[in-house]
Chains A and B, each alone.
Chain A
Amino acid sequence: MHESSALAAGKRTLSVLLVVAGFLATWQIIVLITKPPEYLLPSPMAIGKELAIAPGWYFYHALRTIGATLLGFLAALLIGCVAAVGIVYSRVLENTLYTLLVALNSIPKIALAPLFIIWLGTGLTSKVAVSFTIAVFAIVVDTVLGLRSVDPDAVDLFRSLRGTALQTLVRLRFPNALPYLFAGMKVAISLALVGAIAGEFVASQAGLGYVILAAEGSFETTRVFAAIFLLGVLGTILFFAVELLERIVCPWHVSQRK
């Protein structure tokens, strides 16, 4: 990375941290002044203390949620890309699979979570399934768009060189679709986390969703907030991880040029 872009990234991180710190400080001051009962609104300090008491326990549950999220996301990425290629190259798949996907997508997928629990049990698999279901649509739609948005002249160039369909896919359509794919991935990674939590809400023995639900039952609001705080941090890290990957994989795209 260039000196200047490293500096810019540093500045950006700093400004994000400042905004978050300002938000927490305001919250702390409001709690100090209005003194609401802790089961309604705990202070950031109290949440921090809660996290500090049992970091290992929170880490374990966060790890479970990360696992479900990443597995769901990766499955969505893999299967979504393959489905997109099928849809672009096959009229039959376009008319069946794509239509079906659009129809399924209009169902709030969280409503499917109880079904997955029935089918796959209360363990990790059902969480991964919900996470996958909710994330895959964004990947498919954006990848289909990217594979199709190829300059017709570039396709003719490959034809003029007698390139095979596979070469046109691998050397032209796929690289061309990468920026679109990453746009889909950024949406999908956040949705995958939503899916994992939704699955944990319905039935689970571990994960941050389980922590929230269990703590809510006993009015341990500070613990609920601690888990929500971790979810916020998690979601942010996952999002920026995808963005970092994009910078590495397609530095040539307009949006990434310096």
Chain B
Amino acid sequence: MSGAALNTPRSADGQNGGSVRIQGGGKIYPVRNGSVTALKDVNVSVAGGEFISILGPSGCGKSTLLRCVAGLDQLTTGSVTLGGKPIDGPPLDMGFVFQRDVLLDWLNVIDNVLLPCQIKKLSIAAWEPKARALLGFIGLKGFELRRPWELSGGMRQRVAICRALLLNPSLLLMDEPFGALDAMTRDELNLELQDIWLANAATVLFVTHSISEAIFLADRVLVMSRSPGRIVEIIDVVLPRPRPLSVREAPEFIQYVSHIRRLFEGFGILRGTHARE
């Protein structure tokens, strides 16, 4: 696979354009008897072009954090800035991948990928070659005219990723995108996502609850805990790229995994036999 086909080299403006900064981020949901603190004092600074995994148990507010960066939700306290500017609503050059692919059943594959063009009223003719290149890159050449329901779960999520990447976003947000896929498809997509990211300039925030997936993909892993949702540690992952799947058997990788597992055990989230003693 070659990134040249995508014709999007790491851009010069990308280093600043895709930078994300969250300061004093807090989110409180009103509920029937008072309120729930979904996020508390989240501080993180992400450089343009960085790949960040946000890892935590369910209910730790990691999806909420992502939605606040996407402008789909708002922090109660604190601020999110993108490229130095505070966000007001969904950023223009952002791609979002949901856990479910949300492909539109009434459109074929290529039209689903071109949806951002339709909505932003850009020339379909100008962007169609890009859409085809993305589909080809991710192994879906020849599927352009198929309907979503003719595809497998993994293929559908690939189409959703192409849709998010179409307009060369400087920021790619992914909310447990591979959570509903089987283990082997998930491995394949992890590799493909790494290739895509290496060929692009985008900053990626990737929400997952899989420790190994988080480490495999990321430059840095934000480890979150719940009640209240907060960042407990930010771990630099120093492993050469491109990483093969076998990197997961390397001693350094295993050290990262056990370090994070111990963190979770310390918060009473993962209770192994060791923790119970």
A: residues with CB less than 8 A from B are: 151, 153-154, 156-163, 167, 171-172, 175, 178, 250, 252-254, 257
Contact = CB atoms under 8 A, between A and B. Distances in A.
Interface stretch (B98-106, B209-217, B235-243): B98-106
Interface string B41-76: 000000000000000000000000000001110000
When A and B form their complex, which 7 residue pairs have the shortest distance between CB atoms, in order from nearest?
Answer: A160-B96, A163-B119, A161-B119, A153-B98, A154-B102, A175-B106, A252-B105
Contacts of A171: 104, 115, 118-119
Nearest to B67: A156
Given A160-B90, A160-B94, A162-B120, A172 B104 contact: yes
A169 B115 CA distance: 14
13 contacts: A151-B100, A153-B98, A153-B102, A157-B102, A159-B90, A160-B72, A160-B96, A161-B120, A162-B89, A171-B104, A252-B147, A253-B105, A257-B149
A209 B119 CA distance: 51
B153 interface: no
A167 B89 CA distance: 17
B24 interface: no
A155 to B, nearest CB: 9
A144 B94 CA distance: 32
Given A161-B120, A172-B104, A253-B105, A156 B115 contact: no
B179 to A, nearest CB: 13
A160 B120 contact: no
B254 interface: no
A178 B104 CA distance: 13
B104 A175 contact: yes
A254 B106 CA distance: 11
Interface of B: 70-72, 89-90, 92, 94, 96, 98-100, 102, 104-106, 115-116, 118-120, 147, 149
Contacts of A156: 72, 96, 98
Contacts of A167: 119
Contacts of A257: 149
A160 to B, nearest CB: 4
B90 A161 contact: yes
A250 B149 CA distance: 13
A254 B105 CA distance: 9
Nearest to A160: B96
A24 to B, nearest CB: 42
A86 B89 CA distance: 26
Given A175-B106, A250-B106, A253-B105, A153 B100 contact: yes
Nearest to B101: A153
A153 B94 CA distance: 16
Nearest to A164: B119
Nearest to A178: B106
B161 to A, nearest CB: 13
A5 B147 CA distance: 18
B72, B98, B99, B106: most-surrounded residue (chain A CB, <10 A): B106
Nearest to B105: A252
A70 B130 CA distance: 47
